[in-house]
Amino acid sequence: MLTEEEREWASSLLPKLSDKFAAERDRVGSHIPYIAEDGVYKDFKDISDPAWWTNGFWPGILWQMFRATGDEAYVKPARDVEDTLTKVIDTDFMGLHHDVGFMWLLSAVADYRLTGDERAKNRGLAAATLLAGRFNPAGRFIRAWNLPESEGWAIIDSMMNIQILFWASDVTGDPRFADVARMHADTLLKAVVRPDGSCNHIVDLDLETGELKNNPGGQGYESGSSWTRGQSWAVYGYALAARHSGQKRYLDAAKRVANYFCANVALNDDKALIDFRAPAEPVYWDALANVITACGLLEIVDQVPQLERPFYVRWAVRLLKAVDKNWCDWDPARDGLVQMCSGCYENDADREVPMMYADYYFLEAVLRLNGKAARLW
């Protein structure tokens, strides 16, 4: 499916990724990094915030590298982080919310998938049960966060988290986990994904009916705008839901959002803004949206007819090449690979900075192009 030039480019990144992450592994070890400051990880979340939602991505990188290289040195720090996350259930239960899928899919569930470790399987099932317990059966949605005002809130990010529910049904034979995932996905399909392929980030739903009441602005520019990382969660999340459930409506949704995303980044040299509907000035970028969407596009490729595949492959490569060309720091002596990542449009502190979970998605996408990725979702 790749052209010769694309294949050579994707292959050329493998030794660079190996050098980068082996060096980071040796420096970071069993700590949990998040944002690099001037090429150095300083704030480790296992110390400052063990319940932080991105804490599964570092072990995800380690497990992907173990799968790609066979190097056992990646296993111990990955399992050490898994132990840290398991303690959070006892020490900070109320700090956990809809993002437990991100945390445990890439740590304990990854461990079980790659090694068959039964203790890791049980940890993953505990996380899936926690997520299923957030389900509102009347409104048919999984509640976001634990804020007093968020009883009726659901967010597009959750489409990535519900994949742990599909996994739980697969390993236990209990259909209830997957049922919750499908009902939630259907509610968000109506309330979050707009007809043109753009998405809301947060939706406020009626607790009894699940009908849309309001859409707070969230991490994009404002209510009704188009937060690009939200688009990327929708592309990848609905593509994964389609694979796990076999439901065509989810694949159609992923393709609709993907088409909207690609049409918009084409206006900016294949680089994603923080929000496609923000004012023209100032210009703020988010490399995260590029790399997550690239993974989603490659997931779509596996589910569409041969004639449709070139479009999604070409665009995945274009998005990754834009990041490689403009926003990568390949120096193994410096922490942080993907630069220019943004958490929120209005937040200076985490706007256009290197974020470790972008490194995860860039790694996963490049490994997929080379046939070396572990399927961790």
Residues with catalytic function: 99, 157
Q: Is 229 annotated as a binding residue?
A: yes
Q: Which residues pair with 204 in a beta bridge?
A: 153, 214
Helix (H/G/I), strand (E/B), else coil: 331: coil
Amino acid at 123: R
Own/partner long-range contacts of 263-267 (Cβ < 8 Å, ≥24 apart): 264/226, 264/228, 265/290, 265/319, 265/322
What is the number of alpha carbons within 13 Å of residue 130 lying toward its C-beta?
Answer: 25
* CB 140 within 8 Å of CB 183: yes
Which residue from 201, 94, 204, 99 is spatially nearest to 141, judged by alpha carbons? 204
- Residues 100 and 306: their CA atoms lie apart, in Å, by 35
What is the number of alpha carbons within 13 Å of residue 188 lying toward its C-beta?
Answer: 36
Q: Is 7 annotated as a binding residue?
A: no
* CB 199 within 8 Å of CB 230: yes
- Residues 173 and 362: their CA atoms lie apart, in Å, by 33
Which residue from 77, 46, 82, 52 is spatially nearest to 62, judged by alpha carbons? 77
Query: How many other C-beta atoms can be found within 10 angstroms of the C-beta atom of residue 206?
Result: 14
Which residue from 241, 155, 138, 242 is spatially nearest to 193, judged by alpha carbons? 155
Task: Outline where DSSP puts E strands in the chain.
Answer: 36-37, 40-41, 135-136, 141-142, 153-155, 202-205, 212-214
Q: Is 99 annotated as a binding residue?
A: yes
- Residues 295 and 283: their CA atoms lie apart, in Å, by 25
Residues forming the annotated binding site for substrate? 99, 157, 229, 233
Which residues carry a binding-site annotation?
Answer: 99, 157, 229, 233
